[in-house]
Amino acid sequence: MRLSIFLFLCAVLFVCPSCTTTDTVRFDLYFLNASIRERTLGFIEGATVSLDLCVYDISDPEVLRALAGKVAQGVAVRVVTEADNLAELGLLTRELEVVVDDDRGLMHCKYMIADGKQVWGGSTNLTKTSLDNHYNDIFIASDPFIVRRFQNHFEHCMNGLFKGDRPSAQDKGSIYFSPEDLPFNALMNLLSSAKEEVLIGIYAFSDYRIAHFLKVLSAHGVKIYVFADRGWNQGSPYSQSVEVDQYALLRYDLLETGLMHHKFIVVDRSAVLFGTYNFTASAETKNDEYLILSREASVVERFRQRFFELWKASE
């Protein structure tokens, strides 16, 4: 009964999709094999006054050296990170202002703010494998609204306000922090607008609600493509890949030493959602995450091109 009600609501959404916010923010985008490491280290090196990091994991030796160098230069470095990964910061914890996440879920965000003027973010962790081996993306943005939204989120976290403690932003723009800004609703609203094509690049896909809604879209003639991480989706009993494979074009990565770690959706060549949010219930309710909606043509097209690069590489 619950599933029938859900599918009915999905059908209603399909017929009467909610309007989503149009964004006019420009993003510089980079993917694996397109200078992710260099751009990330350059971002850190460019900080002259302050550097705020809200990241799941920090263990890459070059990144740790760069952070130590910033501290030595007198740059104020603050870190919010996942408690389980704190030890990887080593002796740097003595020199940084560090706050660890609570135990209600993961601190799964990945972003940095330099001098209160520029934001680095995306799907990339600050680890050697994530920077060098995984299929990932990063963005760099200096738009004041983007910076302010991320800075506000960071200050909440520095004050110990995590999932369920932070208020939802009255002016979200096109940035949705989980759980307070309901990124799942933004995701479903975007999917409900699809008329021709949905491209999904995802690491973990276990949310049955998204899978069933994609089935509804497919029944209405929308072509669904899903490119997913092989290891997680073929190894987890919670994966929806078997369900999705019945009505979508599904492929897995062929990486031997890395992960398909992207999390993005491109709809009808008109909009893209990207960030840290996997298709899991934990991403919606337990973890600290974010999604960004962009309708900027260049951003949408870059992600679309990236999708089909990965798609063809998996043949």
Of 70, 110, 153, 263, catalytic = 110
- One fold for 2-23+176-313 and 28-172: yes
Please give the structure tokens belonging to residue 229: 């991480």
* Whole-prediction pTM: 0.91
Any catalytic annotation for residue 115? Answer: yes
Please give the structure tokens belonging to residue 115: 């001098």
Q: β-strand 50-55 against 137-141: which pairing, if any?
A: unpaired
Segment 110-147, tens digit of pLDDT: 999 999 999 999 999 999 999 999 999 999 999 999 99
Cβ distance 240 to 211 under 8 Å?
Answer: yes
What does the domain layout of the chain look like in residue ranges?
A: 2-23+176-313, 28-172
Of 28, 84, 102, 115, catalytic = 115
DSSP structural state of residue 108: -
Please give the structure tokens belonging to residue 253: 């990565």
Confidence of residue 12 (pLDDT cuts 50, 70, 90): very low
- 252: helix, strand or coil: strand
Segment 192-226, tens digit of pLDDT: 999 999 999 999 999 999 999 999 999 999 999 99
Confidence of residue 27 (pLDDT cuts 50, 70, 90): confident
pLDDT at 24: 52
Which of these CATH numbers, 3.40.50.2300, 3.30.870.10, 3.30.499.10, 3.10.580.10, describes 28-172?
3.30.870.10
Least confident window among 81-85, 267-271, 287-291? 81-85
Of 52, 57, 70, 108, catalytic = 108
Query: Residue 294 pairs with which residues in a beta bridge?
Result: 272
Yes or no: domain 2-23+176-313 corresponds to CATH 3.30.870.10: yes
Segment 58-86, tens digit of pLDDT: 999 999 999 999 999 999 999 999 998 99
Residue 14 has pLDDT above 60, yes or no: no
What CA–CA distance (Å, rounded) separates 315 from 119?
A: 35
End-to-end CA distance of the chain: 40
Residue 3 has pLDDT above 80, yes or no: no
